[in-house]
Structure 1
Amino acid sequence: MFTFLHAADIHLDSPLRGLEAYADAPVEQLRQATRRAFDNLIDLAIEERVAFVLLAGDLYDGDWKDYNTGLFFINRVSRLRKANIRVFMVSGNHDAASQITKALQLPDNVHLFSTKQPGTVTIEALGVALHGQGYHARGLVENIARNFPQPLPHYLNIGLLHTSLTGRQGHEPYAPCSLDDLLAKGYDYWALGHIHKREEVADSPWIVFPGNIQGRHIHETGAKGATLVRVEEGRIAAVEHRELDVLRWSLCQVDLTNCATKDLAIEAIRQGMESEEGRADGRPLALRLQLTGESPVHAELHRDAVPLTEEFRSLAVGLGEIWLEKVEFATRRPVALSGDPMGLGPETPLADLVQAVDRFAFQPGSIKEQIPEIAEMLNKLPPELLHEGGLIGDDSSEWAASLREEVKEMLIAKLLGQGGGR
């Protein structure tokens, strides 16, 4: 009997995005999060006395030129060397772009599979055959899984592959292949990488995306970690997720439909934050607050969005190690603005203006054309962040539609506030 550890998408020294602008943000935790999560991975491997560790791509985070990142990795896997734990790894799309990958000399307990063709390594003492191939270029669109060798008889056969399979939302379609392609190889376990959300694709045989070990922004929410695999009598006996993240991201949705006053809304928000904190298992929490529902306080929320955001941020900090990444005011008006909104009179100029704003549709392209800074900002963001969670930098995206709607609702709320006080 023995165990091994399967991890992927480490993205060492990748910045955590979303909290940088706030004075109370945990700057040091943000900078060190991926390193601390990797330390947790090393500690887990040693504590569990695993036979080997599999790293299924994207150890690094693109074309970094800071060799301290690579030196950190070498230092940590040297700890595994002292514990007689071997490491087997393939390069992913981010590693293919990394200068570090091509320059550092790896310790002798680390085996990096070739990027030219699939290779096989056997561990005779354990009866294990490992098959893998890395990326020779970032935008790999070939189905390299088809070329993996046939399983070795009387061995536990494990495939190591960085792939999108047939595609997953928010991830580039690199090294695509089908489930049937993997099943046809007859391996006992497929250690996959590239998809940052944990997924057990199949269990006979086991085909697993462990997810990344540390969430880096709001589109990587929930527990993050690695997969511990137990082998008994030459068969996979158990597959278990182990949490390794040091800071957790969460989307907190609060329905304000039944909140008749702002105070009731704030209490509902407080309860929602507390609930999310309870699910973070003692970790600091980076939280996005999304307010929904046909709310009686809809107009007040949009009118006072800026001061309320600061109030919600103070509420979060008061509850513990919670940092508010963003507030999305996604409530709706309980009734449509038609006829005589808010008693303004059906033919008053203000009523006409409110209804005109309500009907107004921002034209595609208008946001980036009218506010060049937004276009400039989007152009500077890395492609993977733009694609994850629908943050595509075009005006047909969910992000742009949400922004247009939020601007419209804020204008209406301001108008109605002025009308109520005339």
Structure 2
Amino acid sequence: MSAFRFIHAADLHLDTPFTGMSALPDRLRRHLQESTFAALGELVELAVSEAADFLVISGDVYDASDSSLRAQLRLKEALDKLDDHGIPVYMIHGNHDPLSASRVRLTYPRNVTVFGGTRPESAIAGRRSDGAPVAAVSGISYPTAAVTDNTALLFSRDPQSPLYHIALLHANVDGQEGHDAYSPCSLNDLRNSGYDYWALGHIHKRQILSESPWVVYPGNLQGRSPKETGAKGCYLVDVSEQGEARLSFRELDHVRWSEAEIPIEDLHSEEAWKERVEEKMEEIRDRLAGKTGIVRFTFTGRGPLHSMLQSGRECADLLLELQRRESLAMEIDPSWSSHGIVWPAGFKVKTGMDLDRGRLVREDSFLGELLRYADKAGAAPELRDEVIEAALAPLMEHRQLRRLMKSLGSAEKLDLLERAGELASSLLTEEGRREGFGS
């Protein structure tokens, strides 16, 4: 077999509206709304500069089934450029952009293969240099928005073919939490298929689930919300003459969401706190190396600034001041988008009073018993859910609150429990101090 190179991308979500971002300055919001298209442009440039033999895209090319004409024209422009450089594209559609979607049907250039939604279809991919066949690429699109069958079981490798076999699938492997169970399958289903590389889409977190065979989620090209933190992009895959693959992740995002923790243990004044936040902003700016960043800060630990942070007033004032500085930088510099704007989106306070929790847990007291019970519930999911459900029962008549609670993941429920324990500790400790002072 001849050595070759391909790119695995997924979840482009072109024309994501980024709703809920009204608090951003107009310049930054427009830049964010353009970011999915900018990431697509970076993908094309990567394919050209790295002389990829072909590109695979594993679903959710568009963000919505009724994708705008603008999004379709931008995609066609990108595909035309790849065609100009002789780079084939193999593509499937996912739950966001199924084949049944009502959208304008633009004619793709000759280099594009879109796999249908009835059963897996296959195509032979060749090297750009000499056209020698190197890979059998198979895929299946979503015919409708909700596919609940295990479509991985429909794939069948040709046992007589010496080519490298790649399968495109938009699926949830092993029921990953927080994602719709579309095209559900197990890792064993994929491992036992005989394919060499499963090019997955649907899960936006970059993951390599297996290396033999390769089972890979590249994640999306551009983060779309505060929950989609970290670098986003695609995998460049080099396959040797022996059929061994080497993967290299390439960053393509133009706006990066991130979260940063700032411990308060060694901070003893408001001035020190302000300087620490500013230092963290500059660290993030340097790390982004020209990209635009949107960051949420979380204050953690125990220290004398806990009460000030809990009041919220100083946090709100500092946040507004930092945002004013970044807004001013955007006004002054026309090329701000390439000079590392870092927008502080919010502060979260997860601090505690400056007390010895370890000692309190060992105490034979109401507070000690409360903390021990909270620790026990935190380690036992069933007990944790029971405690949270009982505590919030009076609020569950409210429709929106009920929907919100049902959407919480295990990590978010654990955070609720920890914050409740911290609040109880603070209140009981303050009450104890007042009683002691008055006696």
* TM-score range for the pair, normalised by the shorter chain length: 0.7 to 0.9
SS of the residue corresponding to residue 117 of structure 2 reads coil
Amino acid at match of 1:52: F
Q: 2:343 aligns to what?
A: 323
Amino acid at match of 1:266: K
2: CA distance between counterparts of 1:368 and 1:97? 39
Specify whether residues 237 and 117 from structure 1 end up closer, same or farther in structure 2 by C-alpha distance, changes over 3 A only: closer
Specify whether residues 366 and 73 from structure 1 end up closer, same or farther in structure 2 by C-alpha distance, changes over 3 A only: farther
1: CA distance between counterparts of 2:232 and 2:18? 14
2: CA distance between counterparts of 1:101 and 1:148? 28
Partner deviation per Cα, 1:285-332 (whole Å, 9 max, x = no partner): 1000111112211111121x1442231343366476111122111111
Counterpart check, 1:55 vs 2:63? no
Match of 2:248 among 240, 255, 272: 240
Contact 2:157–2:165 (CA under 8 A) maintained in structure 1: no
Specify whether residues 272 and 85 from structure 1 end up closer, same or farther in structure 2 by C-alpha distance, changes over 3 A only: same
Counterpart check, 1:173 vs 2:188? no
1: CA distance between counterparts of 2:78 and 2:39? 12
Match of 1:33 among 23, 28, 35: 35
SS of the residue corresponding to residue 6 of structure 1 reads strand
2: CA distance between counterparts of 1:114 and 1:247? 33
SS of the residue corresponding to residue 4 of structure 1 reads strand
Contact 2:59–2:202 (CA under 8 A) maintained in structure 1: yes
Amino acid at match of 2:192: A
Specify whether residues 252 and 397 from structure 1 end up closer, same or farther in structure 2 by C-alpha distance, changes over 3 A only: closer
Q: 2:170 aligns to what?
A: 162
Match of 1:311 among 318, 321, 333: 318
Between 101-110 and 361-370, the greater mean CA deviation after superposition: 361-370
How do residues 87-106 of structure 1 correspond to structure 2 at under 5 angstroms? 87-96=89-98, 99=101, 103-106=105-108
1: CA distance between counterparts of 2:138 and 2:255? 33
1: CA distance between counterparts of 2:115 and 2:26? 43
Match of 2:150 among 132, 143, 149: 143
Contact 2:65–2:103 (CA under 8 A) maintained in structure 1: no
Q: Kindly state the Cα deviation for residue 15 of structure 1 after the two structures are TM-superposed.
A: 2.7
User: Share of identical aligned residues, percent?
Assistant: 32
Match of 1:114 among 113, 116, 121: 116
Q: Kindly state the Cα deviation for residue 127 of structure 1 after the two structures are TM-superposed.
A: 2.6
| TM-score, L = length of structure 2 | 0.76
Specify whether residues 182 and 245 from structure 1 end up closer, same or farther in structure 2 by C-alpha distance, changes over 3 A only: same
Contact 1:166–1:173 (CA under 8 A) maintained in structure 2: no
Q: Kindly state the Cα deviation for residue 172 of structure 1 after the two structures are TM-superposed.
A: 1.4
Q: Kindly state the Cα deviation for residue 8 of structure 1 after the two structures are TM-superposed.
A: 0.2
Specify whether residues 362 and 176 from structure 1 end up closer, same or farther in structure 2 by C-alpha distance, changes over 3 A only: closer
How do residues 9-48 of structure 1 correspond to structure 2 at under 5 angstroms? 9-16=11-18, 19-23=21-25, 26-48=28-50
SS of the residue corresponding to residue 135 of structure 1 reads coil
Contact 1:13–1:60 (CA under 8 A) maintained in structure 2: yes
| TM-score, L = length of structure 1 | 0.79
2: CA distance between counterparts of 1:53 and 1:101? 24
Q: Kindly state the Cα deviation for residue 39 of structure 1 after the two structures are TM-superposed.
A: 0.6
2: CA distance between counterparts of 1:138 and 1:406? 42
Contact 2:69–2:104 (CA under 8 A) maintained in structure 1: no
1: CA distance between counterparts of 2:48 and 2:238? 15
Contact 2:274–2:318 (CA under 8 A) maintained in structure 1: no
Between 314-323 and 263-272, the greater mean CA deviation after superposition: 314-323
SS of the residue corresponding to residue 244 of structure 2 reads strand
Specify whether residues 106 and 402 from structure 1 end up closer, same or farther in structure 2 by C-alpha distance, changes over 3 A only: farther
Q: Kindly state the Cα deviation for residue 366 of structure 1 after the two structures are TM-superposed.
A: 5.8
2: CA distance between counterparts of 1:326 and 1:42? 34
* Number of residues of Structure 1 aligned to a counterpart in Structure 2: 377
Match of 1:333 among 328, 342, 353: 353
Q: 1:228 aligns to what?
A: 236
Contact 1:362–1:404 (CA under 8 A) maintained in structure 2: no
1: CA distance between counterparts of 2:71 and 2:414? 33
Structure 2 regions of 5+ residues with no counterpart?
127-131, 327-339, 358-388, 435-439
Q: 2:392 aligns to what?
A: 364
Contact 1:329–1:406 (CA under 8 A) maintained in structure 2: no
Contact 1:160–1:190 (CA under 8 A) maintained in structure 2: yes
Amino acid at match of 1:146: L
Specify whether residues 9 and 79 from structure 1 end up closer, same or farther in structure 2 by C-alpha distance, changes over 3 A only: same
Amino acid at match of 1:325: A
Q: Kindly state the Cα deviation for residue 273 of structure 1 after the two structures are TM-superposed.
A: 2.6
